[in-house]
Structure 1
Amino acid sequence: MRCFLFFLILFTGLFVNSFGQTILIGKSKSSAAVWLKGDFRKLKYNIAQTDTSYMLTTADSSISKVSVYCTFNKKGDCISQKISFDCDSCYQKDLKLMLSRKNLEWSPIPSEKYLSKYAKHLLLIYNEKNRYYILKFIDINEAEYERLLTGKHLPAFAPALTER
Structure 2
Amino acid sequence: LAYSQININKTKAEIKKEIAKFKKSTPAFSVTVSETDSTLTTIKTEANKNKEEALLEFDKAGKCRSELRIFNCDQCFKKELETLLGMDKYKWEKLNENQYISKFEEKLLIELPTENKTNTIRIIRTDWNKVLYDIMKGK
Give the shorter-chain TM-score range.
0.7 to 0.9
Q: CA RMSD in A?
A: 1.7
Give the % identical residues. Answer: 22
Task: Within 5 Å, give how 1:45-56 maps onto structure 2.
Answer: 45-56=31-42
3-state SS of 1:136 partner: strand
Which residue matches 1:149? 137
Runs of 4+ in 1 over 4 A off after TM superposition: none
Matched, 1:64 2:50: yes
**Higher RCO by CA contacts (8 Å cutoff, separation 6 or greater):** 2
**Separation in structure 2 between the aligned mates of residue 89 and residue 34 of structure 1, nearest angstrom:** 27
Judged with a 3 Å threshold, the aligned counterparts in structure 2 of structure 1 residues 60 and 103 are, in CA distance, closer, same or farther, namely closer
Larger fraction in strand: 2
- Specify the structure having the higher radius of gyration (Cα): 1
3-state SS of 1:19 partner: coil
Which residue matches 1:33? 16
**Separation in structure 1 between the aligned mates of residue 41 and residue 9 of structure 2, nearest angstrom:** 16
**Separation in structure 2 between the aligned mates of residue 108 and residue 59 of structure 1, nearest angstrom:** 30
Can you list the C-alpha shifts for 1:30-62, whole angstroms capped at 9, x where unaligned? 111111232233232222210000011024534
For residue 91 of structure 1, the aligned residue among 68, 74, 77 is 77
Question: What is the identity, as a one-letter code, of the residue corresponding to 2:3?
Answer: F
- Count of paired positions: 134
TM-score, normalization by structure 2: 0.88
Larger fraction in helix: 1
